[in-house]
A and B are shown apart, each in its own frame.
Chain A
Amino acid sequence: MDALKQELKENLIEQLNLEDMSPEDIANDDMLFGDGLGLDSIDALELIVMLDKNYGIKLTDPKEGRAIFESINTMAAYISEHRSK
């Protein structure tokens, strides 16, 4: 699980062009949206594509994303349970 969380942080930084951040700057329970990392709706779309491409998870209900993308912890838990690749 720790390896997955590290991978998610690295992918987040690369996919979302968080140029000034390193994986160490993102705590596992940091809020990704709003007051945390400050991600926005376009980032949410990027994350949905990332889940599909990297882990074979298709999110069809946007409401699901709100809980899944809350933090690195919630993302890692969801991916571990639902990944097909």
Chain B
Amino acid sequence: MKNVYINSVGSISAQKTFDNAAFLNDITKYHDNVIPAVNPVYKDYISPAAARRMAKGIKMGIVSSKIALNEANLDNVDAIITGTGMGCVRDSEKFVRAIIDNDEQYLTPTPFIQSTHNTVGGQIALELNCKGYNFTYVHSSISFESALMDALLQLQLDEAKNILIGGVDEHGDHTTEIHKIINHIKPEQVGPYNLLNSKTEGAVFGEGANFFVLSNEKSNSSYAKITSVQTYNTLQENALKQQAIAFLKEHDLSTDDIDLLILGNNGDVNFDVFYNTLSEAFSKTPQAYYKHLSGEFNTASSFGFWLASKIIKTQTLPEVVKLNGVQASSYKTVLLYNQYRGENHSFTLLSQC
């Protein structure tokens, strides 16, 4: 089987991550519990005629894809694989609202056309004129990892050379209101920077798109090697440590071999216990978290994947993501763990290449 490398990245998030030359050195601070992605100048990447029907999620997906392709010096790829939890939720809300408001009359085509979950992958393909394999995974908080797993298998088996993968989700006003009502979004004003001290239920919600060119050919600009990804729909908290050890053992590794553990803590007092459990199991390992920067969304783990890629390539752990005070001389092997509301757990293992 071939090795698989992360050859380029493209990120649009609540931070100014769309500039690949920078790495979290200018943090945007928020006070709300629903934080927006920072917009690049979309017109630099998408013609106004094409962009006018696109909701934010589509624009974020296309632009982060183009940033990744530019960095990889590629005009096209063999496949496009997208992960999204909610798809194009803004247009979905728009046409459903129009159905209700207009008593099922006067329905315009644009929001419906743009509302499907695979719109982002389709629009990226249209922009690139890519007629290759195009697939979208909609698997809640393991949507991105499902896309990653598909790409990993195809590249390991040499069925493709370069694959564009990514995770994308956008805010929808109505959906956000529902999440507020059921306390999936924190009711009190904590802001993302006090996430871990909030001791309350719910999370701070975000949005974003993180795309990557994966390849089975290493380049001079490669970020990291992807060793493995594993997902679990259900996992008991008391089995988590053993599962992590077993996952590492499959790759002849132990907890001592991990140079950095990146956790998806979102500050929900009911479910951060999973992260705390793993944190204790890796108490001698440097640890980082990121959802205070990106917010929580179904594909927020793609921001964690971006963070891990940048850390391995730059060998820099930004102060703002540090979760504990343990130091490491280098970051060669990085383990990511994520789950949302106690379900859809994932381990992703990256290493220096």
Q: Using a CB–CB distance below 8 Å, which chain A residues touch chain B?
A: 15-20, 38, 42, 45-46, 49, 52-53
Contact = CB atoms under 8 A, between A and B. Distances in A.
B52 A17 contact: yes
Nearest to B113: A42
Given A42-B113, A49-B107, 15 more contacts: A16-B52, A17-B53, A19-B48, A19-B51, A19-B52, A20-B48, A38-B49, A42-B109, A42-B110, A45-B109, A46-B109, A46-B110, A52-B105, A52-B106, A53-B106
Interface centre among A17, A38, A52 (most CB of B within 10 A): A17
Nearest to A53: B106
B73 interface: no
10 contacts: A17-B53, A18-B52, A20-B48, A42-B110, A42-B113, A46-B108, A52-B106, A53-B102, A53-B105, A53-B106
Looking at chain B, what size class is its interface with the partner chain? 10 to 19
A49 B108 contact: yes
Interface string B11-53: 0000000000000000000000000000000000000110111
Interface string B93-122: 000000000100111111001000000000
Contacts of A42: 53, 109-110, 113
Nearest to A20: B48
Nearest to B106: A53
A10 to B, nearest CB: 16
Given A42-B113, A53-B102, A15 B108 contact: yes
Contacts of A17: 52-53
Nearest to A51: B106
Given A19-B48, A20-B48, A42-B113, A49 B106 contact: yes
A59 to B, nearest CB: 13
Contacts, number: 27
A38 B53 CA distance: 14
A45 B53 contact: no
Interface in B106-149: 106-110, 113
A18 B49 CA distance: 8
Contacts of B108: 15, 45-46, 49
Contacts of B109: 42, 45-46
B39 to A, nearest CB: 13
Contacts of A52: 105-106
B44 to A, nearest CB: 14
Contacts of A49: 106-108
Contacts of A45: 108-109
Nearest to A18: B52
Contacts of B105: 52-53
A49 B95 CA distance: 13
Nearest to A52: B106
A20 B122 CA distance: 25
A11 to B, nearest CB: 12
A76 to B, nearest CB: 20
A32 to B, nearest CB: 14
Contacts of A15: 108
Interface centre among B53, B107, B108 (most CB of A within 10 A): B108
A57 B105 CA distance: 13
A25 to B, nearest CB: 13
A46 B114 CA distance: 14
B119 to A, nearest CB: 14
Nearest to B49: A38
A45 B49 CA distance: 17
A45 B109 CA distance: 7
Nearest to A19: B52
Contacts of A53: 102, 105-106
Contacts of B48: 19-20
A49 B53 CA distance: 17
